[in-house]
Structure 1
């Protein structure tokens, strides 16, 4: 679970749906505002975080209850949401005597928003089914700003019925919640997302560095080409800050390298060829060596200076 301080949530309107009893595990940069949106939408939440002070701070801000263990948080909940760091963190809050599965009632749904492997998603899906529970892998895209503003994109894998149960609740913190296939498909879709981002950011970094070397007014150039075929979210949201050398926001390089490690592991399993992704992963290693572990992923341009 991230130890980076989390922002609060933006004011927004929520869809009117019946109140549900929920649990949320993991209150880092993403989980804190996601859980906050669920609370502001009117649901009763019990939260758990490995660092208990963060859970207490969240409850002071949004109300709700704090539990000492994932199992206690999950007890009696209709749906348990989680957003932690990696496969091992996920297993630690799900399995064992103090894990969420031990506290969940039959028929309850576990929704995992961690960016993790498709392998662990399938593993926990099978264990949930054996216990009479449901498991949906539901990684998100949109970063901290998307979580704060309630504008995440959620890609889900798992059975259709539990997906339909969780979808209206997830729309409290998301602009789109889509089932893309069976168990593990959500994680695989997130890997596709990260492959796209890695290539886009590297291309944008090279373009800006080239334009600067050529003596162009790059903010003006970005405005011009942003109205044509080169336009992208990365250009719109990170182009000018890359020109300014600002990398103190957004999705950290360490997290991107974790995600690209998952991508490359999966590619080794399925035989996909990812030469550009592998190269950009090494470029991010260069950024880490420059001290940029927590810089935004747009800091790829630093190695071109």
Structure 2
């Protein structure tokens, strides 16, 4: 049994994207001694430049292995399965130098398969491992109010919890290794269904020439209410989509869910249909637009179907 971790830790963060950048900042603000690594060095430089006025500092590592040297915990948030395998299991990956008893937390949305593979490697190296995808988007990362769904052993999740509390408002241990990732798939299936239904309803309201502001006032306090309605109804009505979680990333996530469904014998026909709707919007050049741009798949009144 490993000793409990101290309050201030040596925490290394791998991946300074739109989510990783603020998470790493929260870790530094919580008093941890932070090391950062990003494949594109300019992002590490940008992080340091933004951190300096806040009185924050970090060590910059040249490889994930270098970042893991001497770390109590390594946290990752990269792009996909291949990126994660490279920074964790590759020749210069974090597991090549991460010490026994250290904690590894992955916030990337990836397949349950790679999460389970990494958990096996971690077990063999006596590393405490948590697959911990997040919900809350960039806004949640900036505010430090992310919801985190965790897969791993109880000991691993409890060791990771004090670290994740620096940037999360909800941390839930949902099950064994890989369960965090499958729970994130549930989350994305739910979001996709809600935003598609909202899109169809809004187009219906527009076609009926209703006052969409009054429609929102009438229905947003009842059973139809959702986060997507509260935060996306008005922007969808204005055809404003240049923000938020990109369709390209949602298609990646839905692809993971559809693949997992095949492997476990689950039926997800609605998710598969919505994925195709997103593909149509991608083909119109909307891949980097917010997921609410799925409404572009439904023609406006007077437009050809």
Q: TM-score, normalised by structure 1?
A: 0.93
> Which residue matches 2:279?
285
Cα RMSD after superposing both structures: 0.9
Per-residue CA shift, 1:59-101, capped at 9, x if unaligned? 2332111000001111111110000001000001001331000
Per-residue CA shift, 1:167-206, capped at 9, x if unaligned? 1221211110111000000000000000000100000000
> Which residue matches 1:91?
85
- Of 94-103 and 247-256, more deviation after overlay is shown by 94-103
Number of aligned residues = 289
* Structure 2 residue ranges without an equivalent (≥5): 1-5, 52-56, 300-305
Name which of 260, 270, 274 aligns with 1:276: 270
1:228 aligns with 2:217: no
Three-state SS of the structure 2 residue aligned to 1:23 is strand
1: distance between equivalents of 2:47 and 2:59?
9
> Which residue matches 1:12?
none
Per-residue CA shift, 1:117-165, capped at 9, x if unaligned? 0000000000111112121100001111111111111000001112111
Alignment of 1:6-155 (within 5 A): 18-62=7-51, 63-155=57-149
Q: TM-score, normalised by structure 2?
A: 0.93
Name which of 203, 209, 213 aligns with 1:219: 213
Larger radius of gyration: 2
Three-state SS of the structure 2 residue aligned to 1:105 is coil
2: distance between equivalents of 1:169 and 1:295?
32
Conserved 8 A contact 2:128-2:155:
no
